[in-house]
Amino acid sequence: MGIVHCLLVVAATKNWHVFQLDVYNAFLHGDFDEDVYMHFPPGFARFSQSKADYTLFTYQHGSSFTVVLVYVDDVILAGNDDSHISQQEQFLNSNFHLKDLGPLKVQSQFLSTPRTTHWHAGLRILRYIKGTVGTGILLSSSSKLTLHAYTNSD
């Protein structure tokens, strides 16, 4: 899930639109007697597959940049070119049975049935934030997304 978090940080920093699709897959709930191999649909060859994370695909042409992230039966589309994202969604929908979940929404898994422990955890987080107002990580929309690392060699 680390790649999802990284993509969301970049998308927020670059002010990209992020969309989520769900792939209907009946085979995920069944047993197979044979091996199943996956390959790209023919029109998807324009995308480059990441060597660091094989679920991440990128496409760049001029100033247009699109990211496709596949996680089990979910697909996240993001980028700076809404028309290209829409084309890719239509292409994927013509090759797979998809449900368009619209813009990606991040929500808590406990939001529908909160308990007292969740309330106390929320209060603890708010007390922590109140005590550390002057510290934090700034994710500016003008950030160059440069990573700086420091270490102590002792």
Write the secondary structure of the chain as one string of H (helix), E (strand) and C (coil): CHHHHHHHHHHHHHCCEEEEEEECCHHHHCCCCCCCCCCCCHHHHHCEECCCCCCEEEEEECCEEEEEEEECCEEEEEECCHHHHHHHHHHHHHHCCEEEEEECCCCCCCCCCCCHHHHHHHHHHHHHHHHCCCCCCCCCCCCCCCCCCCCCCC
Tokens at 153, concatenated: 């060699």
pLDDT score of 64? 95
The CATH classification of domain 2-103, taken from the options 3.10.450, 3.30.413, 3.30.310, 3.30.2420: 3.30.310
**Number of neighbouring beta carbons within 10 Å of residue 121:** 13
Name which of 93, 124, 137, 128 is nearest 5 in CA terms.
137
Contacts 24+ apart (CB under 8 A), 5-8: 7/56, 7/67, 7/69, 7/76, 7/78, 8/104, 8/106
pLDDT score of 89? 92
pLDDT score of 131? 85
Tokens at 80, concatenated: 């700076």
pLDDT tens digits along 44-73: 778 999 999 989 999 999 999 999 999 888
pTM, rounded to two decimals: 0.69
pLDDT score of 83? 94
